[in-house]
Amino acid sequence: MTELLGQLFFTFFFIGLFNFGGGGTMLSLIQGQVVTAHGWITQEMFTDIVAISQSTPGPIGINCATYVGYEVMNGAGFGPWAGVLGSVLATFAVVLPSFLVFYLIIRVFYRFHEGRTFSDMMRALRPAVAGLIGAAALVLIFRTQWTGLQLQLSVIRESFPDWTSWIIFAAALALGISRKAGPIAIILGAGVVGLLIY
């Protein structure tokens, strides 16, 4: 149990340390570690965790870490109390780098914030953030499997079981891009439509 808790802590510390741009960009990092690298949870369970994390209050990346921490420890057979401990540990580990880095950034910012190098560095990070958000979306749509050098893509059936789910997705995406509705309204609307249809 102690070994698994240690792996959980360092995995989420690593995720928190290399995350740029908020919770949405964190999803592809979490998926890569807990589903692909460690195999702690299945892709289907990760998709469910992301859906719950988006629907509950708070940052999606931190919510996801909390749910994953619980599922990893409880799923390993240590019981619900170990699951709660896993939740607390994963949540603490994923936010700890932000506190440490933020403290250092504040000290550096007040020293160099008017310099050209600093503003150029911030500008260079914007495409990386957009790419990570796009990767998070693709992780929730497609299952990837490498056979040697050949990549096999398949749609995650639990996320998109039929054409109706694709229509709901397209409508939500169009509303989000056009900015005719806020993200909360889109999530609630898609949830209600899905509840009525399924």
Query: What is the structure's pLDDT at 22?
Result: 66
Q: Which residue has the higher pLDDT, 136 or 172?
A: 172
Percentage, residues of the chain above pLDDT 90? 19
Task: Please name which of 83, 88, 127, 74 lies closest in space to residue 9, comparing C-alpha atoms.
Answer: 88
Q: What pLDDT, on a 0 to 100 scale, did the predictor assign at position 86?
A: 93
SS3 label, residue 22: coil
Instruction: Scan for tokens 């914030």, then name that residue.
Output: 113
What pLDDT score does 7 carry? 93
Judge whether residue 119 has pLDDT over 80: no
13 touches 27 (CB < 8 A): no
CA atoms within 13 A on the CB side of 82: 15
Identify the DSSP state of 37: I
Mean pLDDT of the chain: 85
Query: pTM for the full model?
Result: 0.59
The pLDDT tens digits of the residues spanning 173-188 come to: 888 888 888 888 888 8
3-class secondary structure, 66: helix
Question: Is a pLDDT exceeding 80 seen at residue 23?
Answer: no
